């Protein structure tokens, strides 16, 4: 699925213009998929229909840059901090289909899903076909930080 041209409504604006996302999700579901990966008009990977995309290559977690035409999610942004704390490089990079299919690991992020490993795209296995060590470490770090922040907020509310 191809995203709108950058001259259309910016993906940085959360709006009710989610037709491309809905169509991509329907296409993914028809193919038996859990999510749909979306490209921008240049053919670069941008985001998933309901989440942000990361691949892992040589120990670094890579995600498309904002100018690829994606909505920068809260969890996506949080993972830059989590990666720094875990000594895992997390950075933006222009990604193509071959990067995803040749990745050591891949995962998606969203506020409602946290960090979800991607082990297969269509009929192609990603990496070893199981959640990889970098993805697992980032998920553990995310959950640990989310728990810490939640506990701090709860304590603040009780006082």
Strands 120-121 and 114-117, by their bridges, are unpaired
Q: DSSP string spanning 20-48?
A: HHHHHHHHHHHTT-S--EEE-TTS-EEEE
Is residue 118 a contact partner of residue 107, using CB atoms and an 8 Å limit? yes
Asked whether the beta carbons of 84 and 73 are under 8 A apart, the reply is no
Helices and strands (H, E) in the chain, number of each type: 4, 9
| Catalytic residue from among 14, 16, 112, 155 | 14
**Cα 12 from Cα 66, distance rounded (Å):** 9
Q: Is 14 a catalytic residue?
A: yes
End-to-end CA distance of the chain: 50
**CA 94 → CA 9, 19, 41, 58, distances in Å?**
21, 24, 13, 16
Q: Residues with catalytic annotation?
A: 14
């Amino acid at each position: 699925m191809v995203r709108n041209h950058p001259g259309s409504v910016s993906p940085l604006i959360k709006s009710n213009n989610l037709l491309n996302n809905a169509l991509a999700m329907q296409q993914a579901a028809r193919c038996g998929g859990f999510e749909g990966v979306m490209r921008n008009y240049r053919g670069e990977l941008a985001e998933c229909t309901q989440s942000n995309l990361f691949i892992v290559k040589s120990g670094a977690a890579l995600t498309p840059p904002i100018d690829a035409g994606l909505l920068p999610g809260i969890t996506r942004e949080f993972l830059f901090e989590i990666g720094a704390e875990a000594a895992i490089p997390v950075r933006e990079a222009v990604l193509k289909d071959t990067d995803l299919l040749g990745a050591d690991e891949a995962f998606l992020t969203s506020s409602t899903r946290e960090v979800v490993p991607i082990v297969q795209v269509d009929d192609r296995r990603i990496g070893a076909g199981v959640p990889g060590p970098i993805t697992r470490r980032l998920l553990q770090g995310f959950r640990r930080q989310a728990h810490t922040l939640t506990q701090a907020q709860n304590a603040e509310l009780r006082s």
